[in-house]
Amino acid sequence: MRIARFTTGDDPMYGIVQSKDGQDMVYGITGDPLYTEIRPTGTIVPLQDVRLLAPVIPRSKVVCVGRNYAAHAAEMGDELPGQALFFLKPNTAVVGPGDPVVMPAYSQEVSLEAELAVVIKRMAKDLAPEQVADHVLGYTCANDLTARDAQRAENQWFRAKAFDTSCPIGPWIETDLDHSSLEISSTVDGETAQQGSTADMVRSVAELISEISSVVTLLPGDLVLTGTPAGVRTVPAGSTVDITIEGIGTLSNPIVRR
Q: Are 93 and 153 members of one domain?
A: yes
Q: Are 102 and 36 members of one domain?
A: no
Nearest in space to 140 (alpha carbons), one of 172, 180, 168? 172
Q: How far, in Å, CA of 100 to CA of 252, rounded?
A: 9
Which of 63-77, 139-153, 169-183 is the least confident region?
A: 63-77
Domains of the chain: total: 2
Q: Are 164 and 198 members of one domain?
A: yes
Average pLDDT over residues 62-70: 96
Q: Are 132 and 223 members of one domain?
A: yes
pLDDT score of 73: 87
Q: For residue 142, give the CATH number of its domain.
A: 3.90.850.10
Classify residue 57: in a domain, yes or no: no
pLDDT one-digit tens code per residue, 14-60: 999 999 899 999 999 999 999 999 999 999 999 999 999 999 999 89
pLDDT one-digit tens code per residue, 161-192: 999 999 999 999 999 999 999 999 999 999 99
Range of the domain at 32: 2-52
Average pLDDT over residues 88-113: 98
Q: For residue 37, give the CATH number of its domain.
A: 2.30.30
Q: What pTM did the predictor assign?
A: 0.97
Classify residue 143: in a domain, yes or no: yes
How many residues are there in the chain? 258
What's phi and psi for 187, nearest 5 deg?
A: -135, 155
Q: Are 21 and 103 members of one domain?
A: no
pLDDT score of 77: 87
